[in-house]
Structure 1
Amino acid sequence: MAKLQLICDDILTLDGDGLVCPAHKHLVRGRGLSAQIYDRAGEALVSECSRLPECTIGAARITSAPNLAPHYLLHTVTPQWSSGDQWGAEALVQLRQCYESVLALAKARGLKRLLFPALGAGTNRFPHEIAAHQGLEVLRQHAPDFALLTVCLRTSTALSVWRTVDARFWGGKET
């Protein structure tokens, strides 16, 4: 039975088939969670990523996950939040595409348990309310294709925001 869960924890300590990594377009060590993943995975990840083509905003790539509990890393390049100016609508579409691309790649590889951070809400500055709405809408649509989709938030405040958005738009019901 498919399940979507929202938790507050250290995503790098969790087990799953795939861990979603907010990526730099050249698949090099970025900031925030990306830096933590690259630091833990080490040179093996750097070497594997150097052989992959550039990853555009909204696209996804897959690599092994050396020195991490999940078997794979699903890299996706999230858009920068532009404070809702004239490019804000495009950023929303691109953020949704990040989730869509990761889920399609995971499904094609037969991955069933995925770990997501709050894509876009870290160093790319999407407000959690907006990131939650975009992410949860896509995740809820695709949840039946997976055994477990986990959104792991870094703070209890962020978790509260995601749960509030989930309750407001979807009744907070487990899928």
Structure 2
Amino acid sequence: MQTHLEVMKGDITKVKADAIVNAANTSLLGGGGVDGAIHKAGGPQILEACREIRNRQGGCKVGEAVITTAGNLDAKFVIHTVGPVWNGGKSDEETLLANAYRNSLRLAQENGVTTIAFPNISTGIYRFPKDKAAEIAVATVREFLQEPGTLERVTFVCFDEENYQRYADLLKNASS
């Protein structure tokens, strides 16, 4: 079975998928951007689940991922992953970003997810260059999907036109 890769422009909190990915921070307690929007739209159940994870393991490290309920969102799960803050490429940011995607996909498979939606991880306040982030995201997802699994559809949800165009070009230029 071939997994369908797609890109859309929009609000990830409105996407219907088994799991949506949250570009979280290490505290898991919400923040700005995608993180704040997901916590707001999903309601207090997500924050409560994040607090339980914090109490158990002390947050989420950069490149790692954890899974919670999706609360009021049109999804079963929210997978919270922490992307790296861009530091000029001197702190292994590319590997850490790839790990954020890979660990999110692994958690999705372990939980029987068939459809997953990703935001553009680390490209907002964390300042990861959008072109590099898009290339890493698409390459990492494609590599992960070489192994058989449960995923039928992976959607990259872009909030802005610049990222949308970048992902559309990457997906068009190399058929999935």
TM-score relative to the length of structure 2: 0.90
Q: Distance in 2 between matches of 1:124 and 1:116?
A: 16
2:163 corresponds to 1:158: yes
Q: Deviations over 1:52-92 (max 9, x none)?
A: 021100111000001100110000011001133x32xx011
**How far apart are 1:150 and its partner, in Å?**
0.2
Percent identical among aligned pairs is 26
TM-score relative to the length of structure 1: 0.90
Q: Distance in 1 between matches of 2:110 and 2:170?
A: 29
**How far apart are 1:157 and its partner, in Å?**
1.9
Q: Distance in 1 between matches of 2:155 and 2:171?
A: 13
8 Å contact from structure 2 (residues 6, 171) kept in 1: no
Match of 1:49 in 2: 50
**Would you say how many aligned residue pairs link Structure 1 and Structure 2?**
168
Q: Which runs of 5+ in 1 are unaligned?
A: none
3-state SS of the aligned residue for 1:163?
helix
Q: Which runs of 5+ in 2 are unaligned?
A: none
3-state SS of the aligned residue for 2:73?
coil
8 Å contact from structure 1 (residues 129, 165) kept in 2: no
3-state SS of the aligned residue for 1:51?
helix
The amino acid across from 2:96 in the alignment is Q
8 Å contact from structure 1 (residues 128, 162) kept in 2: no
Q: Distance in 2 between matches of 1:92 and 1:134?
A: 7
Q: Quick one: which of 112, 122, 145 aligns to 1:120?
A: 122
Match of 1:9 in 2: 10
Q: Distance in 2 between matches of 1:153 and 1:23?
A: 16
What value does the CA root-mean-square deviation take over the aligned residues? 1.4
3-state SS of the aligned residue for 2:121?
coil
The amino acid across from 2:110 in the alignment is A
Q: Distance in 2 between matches of 1:164 and 1:15?
A: 24
The amino acid across from 1:103 in the alignment is L
2:64 corresponds to 1:59: yes
2:70 corresponds to 1:80: no
